[in-house]
A and B are shown apart, each in its own frame.
Chain A
Amino acid sequence: MRHVAVIDYGMGNLRSVSKALETVSESAEIHITSDPKHILDADHIVFPGVGAMRDCVSELRRLGLDDVIREASQTKPFLGICLGMQALLSYSEENNGVTALDIVPGQVRHFDTQRERSGNDFKVPHMGWNEVRQNISHPLWQKIDDASRFYFVHSFYVDPTDAGVIAGTSRYQHEFSAALSQENVFAVQFHPEKSQSAGLQLLKNFLNWDGQS
């Protein structure tokens, strides 16, 4: 029996993520956990998150999970979702600047709220269903059409130093990274657990993934 750890650090609702994983899983056991041992023993790691970056990073440190995530992200199939994606970068502009986990070098930036009112895309958060272009072929994109729509809700976006890690892009105000791939780490800005069939397929692909791209 494979074990999937959904990392719980008090940020947002993990029930939807674990229910979605249960729905697509044929044999895996899904655990919502903040126990470092459970996380390091799991076969697959899901790192979700909703909320603010400062709280996220301080909770991870308080629970001793920052080093656990660093270690797990080196070795196992690892999926970051939304804030769980952003926290993997080096530094975020949110909350007047927060140093993040620095697993994927790069910055987390804010969408521009001062844009011309005539544009359709000045509203922040970027909320709703947007197309994701697949920049690379990857096991997590299997059976998902290019330019499928996924559900986003975020005010910040990731800007990795190495453009080679970008696995998918979307357009809002400008093109931004909607998915990153770095060895055994895959991370998405959208919410697969709220993206109906395309999202469930991505989660299913993740459970079937051995961490090799």
Chain B
Amino acid sequence: MGLAKRIIPCLDVDNGRVVKGVQFVDIRDAGDPVEIAKRYDQQGADELTFLDITATHDNRDTIVHVVEAVASQVFIPLTVGGGIRQLADIRRMLNAGADKVGINSAAISNPEFVREAAEKFGSQCIVVAIDAKRVSDQDEADKWEIFTHGGRKPTGIDAVEWAKKMVTYGGGEILLTSMDRDGTKSGFDLALTRAVSQAVNVPVIASGGVGELQDLTDGVKLGEADAVLAASIFHFGEHTVGEAKQQMARQGIEVRL
């Protein structure tokens, strides 16, 4: 027995409140990040990821308070993404109790930022988030490109090559989201996940498309992901993290039970 594959619930936070309908049956306040984080912790979540989607710059501090509050009561690793553009942003999140930060568009506009961040804070806390979309036709060799602005804007950057480059710059983990699958509940893009996981020697988190528990297992077994991230499958009380782990364990995947 050795290292377990990880299940990571993801929470979207807007102005300090969790949005996108988290609905536990017996929770008092379904928007409170601390209550939701505690619930996932009790279910056996291996880590938590918070994505700050606060639109206005003035309210960016709210995520810092969320991290502080959660980190005071939940003792598992926390990752924060969204709006990380400067070294000062990273320091604030780490000081608030985050263990890792997700860097997405700032890496694309300035790859050196990833290098500086890894040198300053260590690769272990730098997660490079990649939003990729398939650009090859069915009869062509697989090819995915990085998209920004919620999947609307192509960059012309090859996703697999970008992942390799980001690791050489010091990224310690890749959070890989398929923009084709995100929100579709049709499962991870397994070919994309496998291509990136085989191309880099750091852990890869699969994201985007989970609709049922088997999708998580497939992400690990067929996609070769080191961790799987999901939101709605857990938020709406369809399944608990514990159920997901039992299902993975039955199919021979090592998990923390």
Chain A residues with a Cβ under 8 A of chain B:
12-13, 15-16, 19-20, 23, 50-52, 113, 117, 120-131, 147, 149, 151-155, 170-172, 191, 193-196, 199-200
Enumerate chain A residues within 8 angstroms of B256, measured Cβ to Cβ: 129, 149
Q: Is the interface of B mostly helix, strand, loop or mixed?
A: loop
Inter-chain CA distance A86–B99, complex, in Å, is 19
Output the least CB separation between A175 and chain B (Å): 10
CB under 8 Å from chain A, chain B span 155-178:
172-173
A residues in contact with B227, CB < 8 Å: 128
Q: Please determine whether A13 and B94 come into contact, CB atoms closer than 8 angstroms.
A: yes
Contact A20 B123 (CB under 8 A): no
Q: Do residues A131 and B2 form an inter-chain contact, with CB atoms below 8 A?
A: yes
Q: What are the 6 A-B residue pairs with the smallest beta carbon separation, nearest first?
A: A129-B256, A129-B4, A149-B256, A153-B124, A51-B122, A13-B94
Query: Are B3 and A172 in contact, with the CB atoms below 8 A?
Result: yes
| Interfacial chain A residues near B41, Cβ < 8 Å | 196
Q: Of residues 70 to 90 in B, which have CB atoms within 8 Å of A's CB atoms?
A: 71-73, 75-77
28 A-B pairs whose Cβ atoms sit less than 8 Å apart in the complex? A13-B94, A13-B97, A15-B95, A19-B72, A50-B122, A50-B125, A52-B122, A120-B2, A120-B3, A121-B2, A121-B3, A125-B202, A125-B203, A126-B3, A127-B172, A128-B227, A129-B6, A129-B256, A130-B2, A149-B4, A149-B256, A151-B76, A151-B77, A172-B3, A194-B75, A194-B77, A195-B75, A196-B75
- The secondary-structure label for the interface of chain A is mixed
Instruction: List B residues at the A interface (Cβ < 8 Å).
Output: 1-6, 41, 46, 68, 71-73, 75-77, 94-99, 121-125, 172-173, 198, 201-203, 226-227, 256
Total A-B residue contacts, Cβ distance less than 8 Å = 101
Distance in angstroms between the alpha carbons of A28 and B46 in the assembled complex: 29
The answer to whether B4 and A130 have CB atoms under 8 Å apart is yes
With a cutoff of 8 Å between Cβ atoms, the chain A residues found around residue B68 in the complex are 15
Known: A15-B96, A123-B201, A128-B203. A194 touches B121 (CB 8 A): no
Q: Is the CB of B201 within 8 A of A128?
A: no
Chain A residues near B1 (CB-CB < 8 A): 131, 147, 171
Q: Which residues of B contact A121 (CB under 8 A)?
A: 2-3
Residue of B nearest to A154 (CB): B124
Assembly CA distance A147 to B4 (angstroms): 13
Whether the Cβ atoms of A113 and B99 lie closer than 8 Å is no
Minimum Cβ distance to chain B for residue A84 (Å):
14
Q: Which residues of A contact B97 (CB under 8 A)?
A: 13, 15-16, 19
From known contacts A51-B122, A127-B124, A153-B124, infer whether A15 and B71 are also in contact, taking CB-CB under 8 Å.
Answer: yes
- Complex contact B46–A129 (CB within 8 A): yes
**Chain A proximity of B51: nearest CB distance (Å):** 20
B94, B123, B198: the one contacting A125 at CB < 8 Å is B123
Residues from chain A with Cβ under 8 Å of B172 in the complex: 125, 127
Residues of A within 8 A of B77 (CB): 151, 153, 191, 194
